[in-house]
């Protein structure tokens, strides 16, 4: 939204990879452990490497503007610690089968995220 408003760029349609990944997430339905795997991987990826990438792109392209996506209400390391603790508390109550379902979701999380990253960077193939 920021780029479309500030630079009067047209908002692109959601690409097929985004539609596919959204459908994958919706199909999880009540399989909370599998969804939690996706959430965990994306949350910590975006609050770690994503911040470094965002800062670099902001420096190169946006006169060091900090986008809203990178603003946090409080200390990010404290927030991440609390989120991690909450997820671990939830996972402690899971059965062995639910824990296995969470672990098996890792491939899908990376495939979905890799496909989105590939699409956003203009590439044709996902990782």
Q: Which pLDDT band, with edges at 50, 70 and 90, does 101 fall under?
A: very high
Q: pTM score > 0.85 for this model? A: no
Residue range 35-43: average pLDDT? 90
Residue range 47-57: average pLDDT? 82
Residue range 28-53: average pLDDT? 86
Q: Give the whole-angstrom CA distance, residue 98 versus residue 23.
A: 21
Q: Which pLDDT band, with edges at 50, 70 and 90, does 124 fall under?
A: low
- Residue 13 backbone zone (phi > 0: left; psi -120 to 50: alpha; other: beta): beta
Token pair listed for 28: 């999880």
Angle 96-120/16-27 helices, nearest 10 degrees?
A: 170
* pLDDT given at position 127: 43
Q: Does position 116 have pLDDT exceeding 90, yes or no?
A: no
Q: Give the whole-angstrom CA distance, residue 89 versus residue 73.
A: 23
């Amino acid at each position: 939204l920021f780029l479309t408003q500030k630079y009067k760029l047209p908002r692109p349609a959601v690409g097929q990879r985004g539609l596919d990944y959204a459908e994958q997430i919706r199909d999880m339905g009540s399989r909370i452990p599998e969804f939690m795997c996706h959430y965990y991987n994306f949350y910590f990826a975006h609050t770690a490497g994503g911040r470094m990438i965002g800062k670099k792109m902001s420096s190169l392209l946006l006169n060091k503007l900090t986008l809203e996506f990178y603003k946090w209400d409080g200390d990010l390391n404290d927030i991440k610690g609390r989120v991690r603790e909450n997820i671990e508390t939830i996972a402690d109550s899971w059965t062995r089968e639910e824990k296995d379902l969470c672990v098996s979701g890792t491939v899908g999380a990376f495939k979905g995220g890799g496909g989105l990253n590939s699409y956003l960077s203009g590439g044709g193939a996902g990782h």
